[in-house]
Structure 1
Amino acid sequence: MESIAHIRRKDKKIQTVEQHLLEVKNLAESYGKEAKVSHITGLAGMLHDLGKFTQEFSTYIKTASENPDNPPKRGSVDHSTAGGMFLYELFHKKDSSRNEKILAELVGNAIISHHGFLKDFNNPSLESKYLERVSKEGKKEVYAKYDEFSGYFYEKVMDEESFLNYINKALVELSEYISQSEPTTLRTSLYYLTTFVFSTLVDADRTNTRHFENEIKEQKISNRELFQLYEKKLSDHLVELQQSSTAKSEINQLRMEMSDQCDKFSGNESGIYSLSIPTGGGKTLASLRYALKHALKHNKERIIYVIPYTSIIDQNAKLVKEILDDDINIIEHHSNVDFGPQTDDELSEELDEILVNKAEKIRLATDNWDAPIIFTTMVQYLNAFYAKGNRYTRRLHNLTDAVIIFDEVQKVPSKCLSLFTESVNFLDKMGNSSVLLCTATQPSLETIKRKIHVKNEIVENLPDVVKAFKRTEIIDKVKDGRMSREDLKSFVEDIMNVNQSLLIILNTKRVAKELYAELETSNVDATVYHLSTSMCAKHRMDILEKVRKDLKEGKKVICVSTQLIEAGVDVSFECVIRSLAGIDSIAQAAGRCNRNGEKEIGNVYVIDYGEEKLGSLSEIEKGQKVTRQKLIDLAAEQGGKKVDLLSPEVIKLYFEKYYNEIESLLDYPLKIIGGNVNTTMVNVLLSCPFMNEYISKSKENRSKVTLLQAAHSYAAEQFFVIDQNTKSIIVPYDKVGEEIIADLNRPYGIEKLSALLKKAQQYTVNVYENDFKKLSESKALRYLYDGSIYTVVPSAYSKFYGIDFDNSSVVDVIQF
């Protein structure tokens, strides 16, 4: 048999199976090192393409290479089952130890799934898709070649004695990993280990294949020298700030104090810490100062900022790139184009590896987060752990051995909260990562059932710091009753008679758009601006620059926005109106008022806006309910010291009450399709809810039970961070956007396409399915790159509203 893993397209050079397996093994080992599971991950690497050691596969791949226009049928040769079956046959017997069985299951699942997604060990249909693949009864045609592929493995890759020694090292790692978990959390720990191993295998396999195809020498470059350079540039920038004319202002002195505290704290050991700097306190630079110094002290590989909205990424990434003077090694990963659905067929990408069609080119252009500094979103972070598609999971292993900064952590969607806390605990305990939970309104994650293990708060004397930063007064207008649009217009006019600038934040895009239209055509003496995520990032940034310019010049300005502006956007208005929402949202809105202490106190009015139809947006309604009650409680206080609505004590009480109100949502509720069973994503992944029914189903099931029970694939199919799936549309905003769309009609190679797609991120809008359908029905959509990328006709994009469609009453999409 001729050993062939891949045939390079341009020169027909062969990469042998043994070369590929050993190279992927070495890469996977390096990925698993910091989690102390390098032999477990290496085992997956050395066995993943074991099925290519057959005459049938050799014939198949040569035929495909020689006949690119008429290749053999996809899936006609199964090469990825063999490695999982090999482990199952060797180490999942009656007399096998418990850990041998677990090792065979978690590594075997990664192997059989590496061209698709992890298979279910057990699912609501009482099926074990894992067992169907690895058992000789389930895959007779693969088992018939068992002696062939196992013989070649021992001959060409590793002899039997060496292999057993390697297995024993992997078992030692597994035993040590398990020993760090409490018995009650063991299933949780093993779920994350399985997903981690899958991530290392997918990335190692794809990386090695791409390196062979493009003749790239594999090398690992340390980021340490780069971090040292970054630290010096940041230090120089801070010196410049201290020497500026505004350095002695009270607010800037407080910001520098926060930065100094982060610098001092960076020497502490790895762990999960909270950073509760008040809004406007210079959180971005303070956290960067901590991250760089901590990364250097503890040899972390990368720094990752996880941010809720792309609007904050736009601003923060730009600031960091300017200060560190690096536009190459600081990666923004968000608002990516839609690459189309991924199949779960484990052989679906085999011909793509050979032929690399257009859809595969787009997939290869995505990042695996192997960069020194990464800015991404909460959606992308959670997708790495839970979403369907190995392009997401591929990135997960690069979250280990990192400094991860969760900015505005209170914005984690409530239904994903338990999944979020469990993932962070894994990265802390098993992944050697340090985590900062950053926000002015810490969400009391230590009080929920699946609590997060925070070691300490970085800010010393937090209550005193909050008082020192106080620049606004919250004024309760909710007690005056609901406001109509006419009432609000009149109120705005009154405010603008005595103020130069006003920010109005409403809960839905529809009412924000309608109020903007009313004010823009009214007699109000001010320039009126509008912001929402129907605009692409570049459009929003341009509007914000105009707003900042007008504010600096002292012009009269009104900005009507959705909540996208309230978290982290560096802009300061004299006055703010905030439609009733959770206290955390009100606090963030207050952060856009009198941000730099331009006046002694700025007013933030909380109103009950009657035009909003929240419909099924129950979480906003519950936040309103808890806030409304807290406003009543505070107003009723007599005699004693009045408590500030935005004090740490009130915010803590708010979150405790709010999480109690939505407790049933925190584990990501699921309704089993085709049945009446209600369960949760957490239960399906981290428990074994179907095992008893599975065992009682048949005698065969009783004799074949896996120790791992997670329904990986089933859960991933149900998982969406936002309630509805969205599609990404590249829009023709300004000449650059038009040029990007024109360039995407040209047949570029992978590197050029990758650069083009990164550039397109600033010109992308994510829309809900119903709005996408409206655009399609109105003939406003255009399709690029064989239908893999979407755009709209110029008339469908407004300079006032962005993509101009009737959004009904939906909140802004968290863009990713």
Structure 2
Amino acid sequence: CGIFRLVVPCGAGKTISALRYALQTAERYEKRRIFYIAPYNSILEQNADEIARYIGDDSAVLRHHSNIVFKQDDGEKETKYKLLTENWLQSPVIATSAVQFLDTLFASKTSAVRRMQALGNAIIIVDEIQALPIKVLKLFNAAMNFLSSFCNTSILLCSATQPLLDELNDYRICPPRDIIQDVDRYNEAFRRVEIVDCIRGNGFSSDEAADFIFGLAQKVKSMLAIVNTKATARRIAERILKLSCGDSEYKVFHLSTNMCPAHRSTVIREMRRYLSDEKSSKKIICVSTTLIEAGVDLSFEHVVRSLTGLDSIVQSAGRCNRNRETICGTLSLIYINDEKIGKLDHIKEAQEITREILYHIHMNADRYPGGALSKAAMDEFYSKYYRSLKREMAFPLKDDPEHTIIDLLTNSPVGSERKQTAGGILLKQAFREAGEAFEVIDNTGKHSVIVEYNDDARKHIHILLSSHFIYEQKKQLRYLQQYTVQLPTYTIEKIGAGIVQENEIGVMILSNEFYDKVYGIDDELKI
């Protein structure tokens, strides 16, 4: 038992390396089960299949995430699946999302608490550890310390951009052991990308960024551009489509969370087909938000990244030249000056720290072997970034920003008052309040809207609206998650009559006329 780290460059095979560690550890120390945790369902589905293939038994891997759906005649399979996911005790390998995992540790739901016992005497692989939300870091560290110190559990934290969780001022993880000692040696061995600083003066406007990307795309067969916001991704993709003037030489793709999961999956499959077709003469250009930057197994000759945190930049570099399309790929780093970050203050902070580190690298290259891809640069980034967001790591309460979930679980004002009222008998921790306040994804001010993406979506929407049984309605809502988009309240108010809200089940359905087959839903309603 203990906490271990696997730090290797993007594309170096850490999923299979982690599985090898887990299988050997399970056999040697008689661990009961292996957990594979991923931050995004796209990574989870991809790597769960890879794990099952290497094990040689698909039925040994329980996939537990929101994208699992069953056909109308799969009642027996669905019942078995529910039993297996109820407590995680019957499967040797469980592949689940970071949301499910963190809910099991902290949420107040009975279904989450019931799974907690399965985490003892187990092996837990946490992939893409850098993708954990900032607000959960202290809680996560405390839980990992508990599982490794008291529950005989082995924990493996995997990432090419490993955060310094052992160097937080408080709630740091127990000293982890590094499986790979000389990371920079591996960085050099797997070097396939050069990061080029193309930030000029005040940066580019969105149109200028699109012109820059299109100019570079003419020199390579495949180009990926990753930006920080959905609105910027759409503007750049629209501009590139105009620049290509429908030229059959170019195939332009767009990806963002304004597209439903089924739509995004279709685009990624089509893009993968074009990228792997060596006979095709088409030039591929993809403009995406950050959803593509970590764990997605796609490879482009050239990547352009809008300025962000160094961790995200290195992850974006992992989408470049993965399959050795060229001797050395290039990631061009640009700044888009009209990219409205809005309330995403952590991105602004990360941008400034990245600028500072790039300047240090330029002035003192010897200190950073490997430049922006070096461990020294990454450690410096996390050290400064975490220092600037110290309070946010303790999970501030939405209704009471002065206090955090850490407060509720330690010196809780609610619990202290209750303890005094009860004559000092009760514990002062407010466990229930902490559990009810915990949510990995903050959907405040957002609403789930089902879109009429295709005939399959329309068919199941009809079944949902015509059903009078709660069980059937829940089943259809689960199935329709692949056709669901999160929309802010102001967008719903703008669309108005385009949203259908059924009073009986409170479901929102977006008319097909408001869903674009390339861009999904338009936040600015230009459709």
What is the TM-score when the length of structure 1 is the normalising length?
0.57
SS of structure 1 residue aligned to 2:166: coil
Q: Quick one: distance in 1 between partners of 2:475 and 2:414?
A: 46
Q: Quick one: distance in 1 between partners of 2:93 and 2:450?
A: 25
* 2:403 corresponds to 1:679: yes
Aligned AA (1:294): T
Structure 2 counterpart of 1:767: 486
- Please say if residues 198 and 333 of structure 2, whose CA atoms lie closer than 8 Å, have aligned partners that are also in contact: yes
Structure 1 counterpart of 2:157: 437
Query: Residues 723-761 of structure 1: CA distance to partner in whole angstroms, max 9, x if unpaired?
Result: 4335544544344434443444557896x8888676555
Structure 1 residue 804 displacement after superposition: 4.1
Structure 1 counterpart of 2:101: 381
Aligned AA (1:456): R
Q: Quick one: distance in 2 between partners of 1:599 and 1:538?
A: 32
Q: Following superposition of structure 1 onto structure 2, how do residues 268-417 of structure 1 map, counting pairs within 5 Å?
A: 270-324=1-55, 328-335=59-66, 367-370=86-89, 371-417=91-137
Structure 1 residues 501 and 713, CA gap change in structure 2 (3 angstroms): same
Q: Quick one: distance in 1 between partners of 2:398 and 2:237?
A: 40
| Runs of 5+ unmatched residues, structure 2 | 69-80
Aligned AA (1:664): R
* 2:239 corresponds to 1:541: no
* 2:140 corresponds to 1:420: yes
- Please say if residues 304 and 403 of structure 1, whose CA atoms lie closer than 8 Å, have aligned partners that are also in contact: yes
The one of 218, 231, 239 equivalent to 1:497 is 218
Structure 2 counterpart of 1:24: none
Aligned AA (1:668): F
- Please say if residues 33 and 93 of structure 2, whose CA atoms lie closer than 8 Å, have aligned partners that are also in contact: yes
Query: Residues 123-156 of structure 1: CA distance to partner in whole angstroms, max 9, x if unpaired?
Result: xxxxxxxxxxxxxxxxxxxxxxxxxxxxxxxxxx
Q: Quick one: distance in 1 between partners of 2:474 and 2:28?
A: 34
SS of structure 2 residue aligned to 1:678: coil
Aligned AA (1:529): F
Structure 1 residue 681 displacement after superposition: 1.4
- Please say if residues 499 and 508 of structure 2, whose CA atoms lie closer than 8 Å, have aligned partners that are also in contact: no
Structure 2 counterpart of 1:484: 205
Structure 1 residue 771 displacement after superposition: 6.1
The one of 228, 234, 251 equivalent to 1:507 is 228
Q: Quick one: distance in 1 between partners of 2:113 and 2:305?
A: 38
Larger Rg computed on CA atoms: 1
Structure 1 residues 321 and 741, CA gap change in structure 2 (3 angstroms): farther
* 2:391 corresponds to 1:664: yes
CA RMSD of aligned residues (A): 3.2
Structure 1 residues 685 and 635, CA gap change in structure 2 (3 angstroms): same
Structure 1 residue 325 displacement after superposition: 5.9
The one of 190, 196, 200 equivalent to 1:469 is 190
Structure 1 residues 773 and 556, CA gap change in structure 2 (3 angstroms): same
Q: Quick one: distance in 1 between partners of 2:293 and 2:19?
A: 21
Q: Quick one: distance in 1 between partners of 2:64 and 2:525?
A: 26
Structure 2 counterpart of 1:806: 524
Aligned AA (2:12): G
Query: Residues 529-574 of structure 1: CA distance to partner in whole angstroms, max 9, x if unpaired?
Result: 0011222333222211211222223420100001110100001101
Structure 1 residues 333 and 489, CA gap change in structure 2 (3 angstroms): same
Structure 1 residues 388 and 730, CA gap change in structure 2 (3 angstroms): farther
SS of structure 2 residue aligned to 1:490: helix
Aligned AA (2:271): V
- Please say if residues 729 and 792 of structure 1, whose CA atoms lie closer than 8 Å, have aligned partners that are also in contact: yes
- Please say if residues 504 and 577 of structure 1, whose CA atoms lie closer than 8 Å, have aligned partners that are also in contact: yes
Aligned AA (1:493): F
Aligned AA (1:304): F
Query: Residues 334-374 of structure 1: CA distance to partner in whole angstroms, max 9, x if unpaired?
Result: 3379xxxxxxxxxxxxxxxxxxxxxxxx9999744444333
Query: Residues 758-814 of structure 1: CA distance to partner in whole angstroms, max 9, x if unpaired?
Result: 6555x1435145267448833424559x51665444334332123444399xxxxxx
Structure 1 counterpart of 2:242: 521
Structure 1 residue 436 displacement after superposition: 1.0
Structure 2 counterpart of 1:724: 443
Structure 1 residue 644 displacement after superposition: 1.1
Structure 1 residues 393 and 789, CA gap change in structure 2 (3 angstroms): farther
Structure 2 counterpart of 1:594: 321
Q: Quick one: distance in 1 between partners of 2:337 and 2:202?
A: 9
Structure 2 counterpart of 1:619: 346
Structure 1 residue 327 displacement after superposition: 5.3
Q: Quick one: distance in 2 between partners of 1:434 and 1:695?
A: 36
Structure 1 residues 419 and 641, CA gap change in structure 2 (3 angstroms): closer
Structure 1 residue 705 displacement after superposition: 1.5
The one of 151, 171, 174 equivalent to 1:453 is 174
- Please say if residues 368 and 394 of structure 1, whose CA atoms lie closer than 8 Å, have aligned partners that are also in contact: yes
Aligned AA (1:501): S
Aligned AA (1:514): R
Q: Quick one: distance in 1 between partners of 2:507 and 2:251?
A: 36
Structure 2 counterpart of 1:710: 429
Greater Cα shift, 540-549 or 720-729? 720-729
Query: Residues 475-529 of structure 1: CA distance to partner in whole angstroms, max 9, x if unpaired?
Result: 1112443111232122123202311111000001111112112212223652110
Structure 1 residues 295 and 441, CA gap change in structure 2 (3 angstroms): same
Structure 1 residues 771 and 548, CA gap change in structure 2 (3 angstroms): farther
SS of structure 2 residue aligned to 1:626: helix
Structure 2 counterpart of 1:607: 334
Q: Quick one: distance in 1 between partners of 2:180 and 2:284?
A: 35
- Please say if residues 214 and 240 of structure 2, whose CA atoms lie closer than 8 Å, have aligned partners that are also in contact: no
Query: Residues 659-699 of structure 1: CA distance to partner in whole angstroms, max 9, x if unpaired?
Result: 111112111223775xxx82221021133445665677xxx
Q: Following superposition of structure 1 onto structure 2, how do residues 102-251 of structure 1 map, counting pairs within 5 Å?
A: none
Structure 1 residue 592 displacement after superposition: 0.3
Structure 2 counterpart of 1:811: none
Q: Quick one: distance in 2 between partners of 1:481 and 1:541?
A: 36
Structure 2 counterpart of 1:556: 283
Q: For this pair of structures, how many residues does the alignment match? A: 504
Q: Quick one: distance in 1 between partners of 2:161 and 2:414?
A: 39
Structure 1 residue 599 displacement after superposition: 1.3
- Please say if residues 335 and 765 of structure 1, whose CA atoms lie closer than 8 Å, have aligned partners that are also in contact: no
Aligned AA (1:285): I
Aligned AA (1:511): T
Structure 1 residues 403 and 760, CA gap change in structure 2 (3 angstroms): farther
- Please say if residues 224 and 304 of structure 2, whose CA atoms lie closer than 8 Å, have aligned partners that are also in contact: yes
Structure 1 residues 656 and 509, CA gap change in structure 2 (3 angstroms): same
- Please say if residues 206 and 235 of structure 2, whose CA atoms lie closer than 8 Å, have aligned partners that are also in contact: no
Structure 1 residues 794 and 334, CA gap change in structure 2 (3 angstroms): farther
| Runs of 5+ unmatched residues, structure 1 | 1-269, 338-361, 809-816
Q: Quick one: distance in 1 between partners of 2:83 and 2:366?
A: 66
- Please say if residues 771 and 805 of structure 1, whose CA atoms lie closer than 8 Å, have aligned partners that are also in contact: no
Structure 2 counterpart of 1:217: none
Q: Quick one: distance in 2 between partners of 1:415 and 1:592?
A: 27
Aligned AA (1:486): D
Q: Quick one: distance in 1 between partners of 2:296 and 2:185?
A: 24
